C-alpha cells in the first residue's frame, strides 16, 4: 500500500511508527517455545507479534567432507510456505528464502558456534551432520530475527539420538542426555533504515518501505560473526557503527528472553 508507505516514511523522520511502537521496540508477544516436535532432535517455535517461525534440528551420521576429514557439518534450509504470505509460491526456493538461509547459516557457521571437531566420530569415515530446517508459518515481517532466534533455540534444545553400538544404526525414537557442543550463541538482529531513522523488528509494510537493512549476528560477548546488507541505498560508516551498537544491544535483549524461555 503506497499510502501507508508514504505515512511510514513521514513518521520515521519524527521517530514514530505506524503501529505506535517506539523505533527500537520489538512487537509483543515475543514467545519462544522449544521441543514442539518429537520427530526432530531439537525444535523451536518463535513468535514475534504476528510473525511465526518454526525450526527443527535433525542429526545424521555421514562421511565427512574430504577437505575436513575430522569435522562434522551444518546445513540450513529455509522454506517460505505459501500459506504464510500472499507473496510466496510453492516450488524451488526463492531469492528471499536463499538469502534468509544463508544469513542464518553464516551467523552460526562463522561464529564457530558448533564445535564441528566434536561431531566427528571416526575421522574420514563418520561424523554427525546437523541440519536445521526453518519454516515460516506466518510472515508479518522480520523473518530474519525470528529465524535466527528459532534456529538457536532449536540447537540449544537438541539432544543426540541413541546409536546402536554394534550395527551403527540410529534409533531416532530415543534421545540421549547429550546435547550439541555449542561454543557460542550467535543471534542475528536486523536493523532497517527508513528516512534516515534506524528501527528494529519491522512489519511487512515497513520492510517494503525500508531503504536499507543490515543484519548483524553477534554472540553473548558482543563479538560479531556475520553481517549482511540489503536494500537499495548505501549506508555511511557512522550509520554502520550505530547499527552495530544497536544490534548488539538488541541481541542482548533477545538473548535474555531466550534464556528465560528455556528455563
Partner 1 sequence: MSIVVNERDIVIPGEALAEGLDFLPGDNTYRENEKIYSKVLGLVSIAGRVLKITPLSGPYIFKPGDKIIGEVIDILMSGWRIKTGTAYTAMLSMQDASSRFIRKDEDLSRILAVGDYVVVKVTKVTSQNLIDVTMKEPGLHKVNGGRIIKINSQKVPRVIGKKGSMISLIKAHTNCDITVGQNGLIWLRGTPEGEQLAAEAIKIIEQKSHQEGLTEKMEQFLVSRTGKKIENYMPEESSE
Which residues contribute to the site for partner 1 (CB under 8 A)?
A: 1-4, 6-7, 11, 16, 18-20
With b meaning 16 or more CB within 10 Å and e meaning fewer, what string describes 162-201?
ebeeeeeebeeeebeeeebeeebbbbbbbbbbbeebbbbb
28 DSSP assignment: S
Closest to partner 1 by CB, 42 vs 202, is 202
Report CA dihedral (149, 153, 154, 157) to the nearest 10 degrees: 180
Closest to partner 1 by CB, 7 vs 211, is 7
We find the least distance from the C-beta atom of residue 209 to partner 1, in angstroms, to be 12
We find the least distance from the C-beta atom of residue 170 to partner 1, in angstroms, to be 46
Closest to partner 1 by CB, 18 vs 224, is 18
We find the least distance from the C-beta atom of residue 232 to partner 1, in angstroms, to be 17
* Strand ranges for 159-251 from DSSP E: 159-163, 170-179, 187-194, 197-200, 212-218, 224-231
We find the least distance from the C-beta atom of residue 96 to partner 1, in angstroms, to be 21
Closest to partner 1 by CB, 11 vs 252, is 11
Taking CA 242 as the corner, what is the angle to CA 241 and CA 248, rounded to the nearest 5 degrees? 90
Amino acid at each position: 500500500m503506497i499510502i501507508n508507505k508514504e505515512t511510514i516514511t513521514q513518521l520515521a523522520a519524527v521517530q514514530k511508527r505506524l503501529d505506535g511502537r517506539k523505533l527500537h521496540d520489538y512487537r509483543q508477544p515475543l514467545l519462544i517455545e522449544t521441543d514442539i516436535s518429537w520427530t526432530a532432535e531439537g525444535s523451536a517455535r518463535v513468535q514475534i507479534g504476528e510473525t511465526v517461525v518454526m525450526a527443527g534440528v535433525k542429526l545424521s551420521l555421514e562421511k565427512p567432507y574430504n577437505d575436513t576429514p575430522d569435522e562434522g557439518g551444518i546445513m540450513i534450509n529455509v522454506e517460505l510456505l505459501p500459506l504464510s504470505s500472499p507473496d510466496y509460491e510453492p516450488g524451488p526456493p526463492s531469492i528471499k528464502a536463499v538469502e534468509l538461509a544463508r544469513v542464518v547459516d553464516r551467523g552460526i557457521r562463522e561464529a564457530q558456534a558448533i564445535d564441528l571437531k566434536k561431531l566427528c566420530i571416526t575421522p574420514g569415515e563418520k561424523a554427525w551432520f546437523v541440519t536445521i530446517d526453518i519454516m515460516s508459518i506466518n510472515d508479518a515481517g522480520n523473518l530474519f530475527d525470528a529465524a535466527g532466534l528459532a534456529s538457536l533455540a532449536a540447537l540449544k534444545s537438541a539432544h543426540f539420538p541413541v546409536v546402536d553400538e554394534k550395527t551403527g544404526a540410529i534409533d531416532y525414537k530415543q534421545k540421549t542426555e547429550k546435547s550439541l557442543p555449542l561454543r557460542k550463541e550467535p543471534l542475528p538482529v536486523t536493523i532497517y533504515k527508513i528516512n534516515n531513522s534506524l528501527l528494529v523488528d519491522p512489519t511487512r509494510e515497513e520492510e517494503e518501505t525500508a531503504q536499507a537493512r543490515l543484519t548483524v549476528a553477534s554472540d553473548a560477548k558482543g563479538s560479531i560473526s556475520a553481517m549482511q546488507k540489503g536494500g537499495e541505498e548505501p549506508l555511511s560508516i557512522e550509520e554502520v557503527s550505530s547499527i552495530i551498537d544497536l544490534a548488539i544491544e538488541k541481541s542482548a535483549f533477545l538473548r535474555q528472553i531466550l534464556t528465560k524461555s528455556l528455563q
